Every structure is written in C-alpha cells, then in structure tokens.
Amino acid sequence: MSKKLNDQQKSNKVSESQRHKALHDAKIGKFHEALINFNKSLCHAESNTSTIALIYANRAAVYYQLNLHDKSLNNIALARECHHNADILNDLDELEEKCYENINNQLKYDDPWEYFKLSYPANKRLPFIIDCLEVKNDKKYGRYVTTTQPLNAGDILAIEEPFFKFLKVDPDDNEYPETNPYNYCANCLRDNYLDLIPCDGCLTTMFCSRKCMEEGNRMFHQYECNILDVLKETDNFRMAVRNFFVSLSICNRNIDELKRLMDESDEKNPTIFNFDLSLCENNSKDLLMAMMSLTNKTNVRVKDMSYVFQHHKLLKKLWTKEKEFINKFLERMMQVEILNFHGIKGQSLNAKSVFRKCVGDGSYAFCSLLNHSCCPNVMRIVVDNRMVLICERPIKAGEQLFDCYIGDSFYYKSKEHRQEELEDYNFTCDCLACENDYADILSGLLPVINHQIFRLAYTSYKDLQDPRKVLTVEQARMLAKKYSLILNQNFSENSYPCKELVMLQLCIVKCFLTAAFSPITFK
Ligand SMILES: C[S@@+](CC[C@H](N)C(=O)[O-])C[C@H]1O[C@@H](n2cnc3c(N)ncnc32)[C@H](O)[C@@H]1O
C-alpha cells in the first residue's frame, strides 16, 4: 500500500485517554458506553504494544460484570494473544477462573432466528426462500414474483443475506450513537455485542472476528484502508466505489472477467432463479450477474473519480487503462443502487428504541425482484442484516407478491405524495389504492364490513399507536401471531380493502417491526 492519506495515525496516547474514559464509564455502571470507548481505544492503539492487551483485559472485566462470560473469555484469549506485560497474566488467569465458575449463570441472548424461520420448506436451489415462489416476466412489470401456493398473513417467505453491503458511519454524529463506527463490524454489519477487533491500519474500522477481518480486507478494505478520507469525497458514489472493489475481488482482480460478467448479465438478464445457490462452491459471480441485471438504466452521470484510484498500484494501473469501463461500472452500480438499496438498522446493545437511524445499506438479489404496490401484501424487514420477507395479508396461488417501496403506504399518504416518492423508479403506480384514490385509513373512505372485527381491530390499532404502551419483543411476537390468525380467518378478497382488515394488517406490520427492531433482550 502507498502512503497513508488519513490525517490521523495510531497513537497510544489517544488510546490511553479513551481507555480511561471507558474505565470511568464502567465504574459508574455505564457498561455500554464503556464498551464503545474501549473499542475506540483499541482502534487508536499502536499495533504490537501492550496497550492492546490491557484494553482487551479491561473489556473482559466489563463483560464479566454484564454476565456475558463467553464474551469475557473471548477477550481474555485476545489479550493473551497480544504482546503483554507479565503482570496482567495473573489478572487474566483469575478472571478466567471466575468466568468458568459462573458460565452456567450467564445471560442468554435472545436469538431472533429461533423466531424468524421460513414457514414452508425451502427452495432446493435457493435455500433462503420458500419453495412455492417463482419469478415471471411481463411487459408492464418486467420481472415479478408470484406464488404457486396460497400464503397466509404472518408467513415468513424469505430470509436473505445482502450481496453488497456497506456500513455508513459517522464518528462525529453524537445525536445518533448507532452511527458510531465503534459499534459495528465493517464487513457483516453486525454489532456482536460490541465485541469487535480493530483494523491494524486505520482508526475507525472494526470487525467482529478474524474471519470477517480477512474477508473484509480481501474484498474491499485492502483498497480503502489508507484512503478513507479521500473516499468521503465520492459522496453519492461511495457505495458504487465499494461495489467496484468487491466485484474486482470476486473476479480475482481480473478486470476482463468483470467486463465479461457485465456483458453476460446484459445479454441474459439473469435473476437468482437461473442459478443453483445451494451448491457449496463459490457462487459470487452468479450473484454478481443477477445484481447487475437489477437496473432500468436510469440516467446517471459519474463525476471524475480519478483521485480515488491514484493511491493503490493496481487501481492506478487499471484507471489508466480502463477508465471508461470503470465509469460505466460505477454508473451501473448507481443505477442498481437507486432502485434496490435498503437501509439496515442495526440491533445494538446501546439502541434505546425501535426508531433509529440506518447503520448501513444492503442490496438483496431476491427481494429486489419484488414490485411495488401502495397496498402491499408483503413487507420486508432487515433483522441483524438479513432481509426477512413476511406476508402481511393472505395471498392466493398465482397472485403477484407486492412490496411497498415507500415505507408507509396508502394508509397514511395521499396518492400525489406517494407518486412523488416513487419518482426515481420510473413508473406510474396503478395499484388498487391509486386507482380508487384511497388515502388515510382513519378517514371515512374505506367501508367497515364486519363491525365486531372492526371494534377489535380499532382498539388493537389504537393501543399499538400509544407511545406509553411499549411492547417487549416477546409480546410483539405473540401479538403478531394473534393478529395474523384473526386476519387469516376473516380475510375475504371481496371485502378487502375495508377498515378492519387494513387495520389488522397494520397491527401485524407494527408487531413485526417491534419484534425486529426492539433493543436487544436477554433471556
Ligand atoms: C426493484 S425493481 C423490481 C423488479 C423489476 N420488475 C425487474 O424486472 O428487475 C423496481 C422496478 O420495477 C418496476 N416496477 C415496480 N413496481 C411496479 C409497478 N407497480 N408497476 C410497474 N412497474 C413497476 C419499475 O421499473 C421499477 O423501477
């Protein structure tokens, strides 16, 4: 790598000052703040110095206090691996003994994947979606997803890993602590209960494990580590530049192979349904082609990016020879991004509420095939970086799955407002809600058909809106099940949309959002 362009260098002095802040936080019981400050301190510590061992030892002690003994043991092991002064060894041995003595009393994490599971057998070639989903194509929608079997509200239809992903961090944003880079793994975007390890080179990049560190370095960080400040200037194109690095790595740095994949994607317009992703062999190239086809070629102009490519030997050479293709690739990535990138809200130990800023963006090859309706029948939520697709009202065999691209659907926004928000997608929505100009569920426009169900739906809906009534994850999961059952039993196509069915649908959405985004709980 060439000369480091970040203006700051590792410094044990800065690291020590952060460590002392963390020790103070821990002393007054602010354990989450302490862990973040220890992470910051780790990032600033000079490589191969005993300071790093000391920080891991301190972090181990905090995890011990939090009753997270496996994390404590992990940090003891990390401390021992580092260059350390002999006098911390005794402390580590003592702490280790205490952890083993108490390991059976440690807090158990609530694993969201015990709850979010596919509701039907998995597709054999695409094991992350259920086996009755298909992709079709027509003139109006382009590609679209349908089901060969009826589906019910509450069913989980897909659990998909992002293909491209990007952690959006801002160390200076104090208003939203979740945008602090010392919270999340730069590779998988998970918070790992703040048990992160620092990059040896820069001051802000952390990983959750050696495996993620190796993968992150191989896929993108080898190019980015010493130019993080330069990359900030790429503004909107930051993610496109990241995707170029990742794609180049997938092609083993062979740009001719990347060109070939782009040509093949343009020619065949493949989706993931064209591939067998159950095979253990590396299928990144298949996925990359499927991702590149997710564009309607919106007009995008890339600004001059030469400054990004001047600091790395290979990139500089590629830029001189292949500037035109690289620009074309960045444009394509931007076109894909406009249509298909989804915010990732992290789960974090220090998240205080359901509503918080996204910590990153991700793109999902399957879920991106869903078209839009302002009265959707499925919803997407990102749990722990994976996209979970949930059925929010009954769907007949043969029907298309529709997602709502604009968060709130016809329940809250006027038709004009919705169309404005859909502008980037280049189509005019003619869904049921737009055709009939439904707006605002509480207005008089929608009829009430079953008054008994309406009373139940209305009370439940109002209860869920009440900010004083905060649901636990467990309660939200139970209620999602309850409302799904009532909706499934009372749904009739002839009466939808009516107030009570739409309200029940909204209750289900709200419960799933709460179940996914509530602060992490322990059993
Ligand atoms: C995320 S992609 C969905 C998959 C897309 N149909 C494809 O073939 O790749 C979004 C694009 O799909 C099309 N689309 C989505 N919803 C639509 C709708 N309700 N009516 C017509 N076209 C729609 C638009 O071209 C939009 O830009």
pLDDT tens for 108-142 read 777 888 899 999 999 999 999 999 999 999 999 99
Say what the pLDDT of residue 347 is. 60
- Is the sign of the CA dihedral 7, 8, 9, 13 positive or negative? positive
Task: Judge whether 510 lies within some domain.
Answer: yes
User: What does the pLDDT read at residue 2?
Assistant: 40
Q: Is residue 44 part of a domain?
A: yes
Name the 3-class secondary structure at 109.
strand
Residue 149 lies in a domain: yes
- The stretch 389-410 carries a mean pLDDT of 92
Do both 198 and 228 map to the same domain?
A: yes
Ligand 1 pocket, 426 CB below 6 A?
Answer: yes
The Cα–Cα gap between 148 and 163 comes to 26
Indicate if ligand 1 lies below 6 Å from the C-beta of 340: yes
* pLDDT for res 177: 63
The secondary structure of 215-283 as a DSSP string is HHIIIIIHHHGGGHHHHHTTGGGHHHHHHHHHHHHHTTT-HHHHHHHHHHHHHH---GGGS-TTSSS--
What pLDDT score was predicted for residue 520? 56
pLDDT at 522 over 70: no
What is the predicted pLDDT for the residue at 5? 47
Pairing assessment for the beta strands 371-372 and 402-403 based on DSSP bridges: parallel
From 87, 105, 123, give the residue that closes a domain. 105
The answer to whether position 350 is within a domain reads no
Instruction: Name the closest-CA residue to atom 26, ligand 1.
Output: 425
Q: Structurally, how many domains does the chain consist of?
A: 3
For residue 349, is it within any domain? Answer: no
Give the CA distances from residue 496 to residues 95, 415, 434, in Å, rounded to whole numbers and listed in that order: 61, 18, 14
Question: Is the CB of 419 within 6 Å of ligand 1?
Answer: no
The answer as to whether 84 is a domain residue is: yes
Is 3 among the domain residues? no
pLDDT band at 157 (very low <50, low <70, confident <90, very high): very high
pLDDT of residue 281: 67
Tens digits of residue pLDDT in 196-230: 999 999 999 999 999 999 999 999 999 999 899 89
pLDDT at 86: 80
Q: Is the CB of 296 under 6 A from ligand 1?
A: yes
327-344: per-residue pLDDT in tens? 999 999 999 998 898 888
Ligand 1 center to 139 CA (angstroms): 11
- Tell me the average pLDDT of the chain: 90
pLDDT band at 467 (very low <50, low <70, confident <90, very high): confident
The predicted model gives 397-413 an average pLDDT of: 88
Does ligand 1 have an atom closer than 6 angstroms to the CB of 137?
Answer: no
pLDDT classification of 446: cutoffs 50, 70, 90: confident
Distance 254 CA to ligand 1 centre (A): 32
| CATH code (residue 68) | 1.25.40.10
Nearest atom in ligand 1 to 298's CA? 27
Show the domain range for 218.
164-344
- Distance (angstroms) between ligand 1 centre and the Cα of 265 equals 18
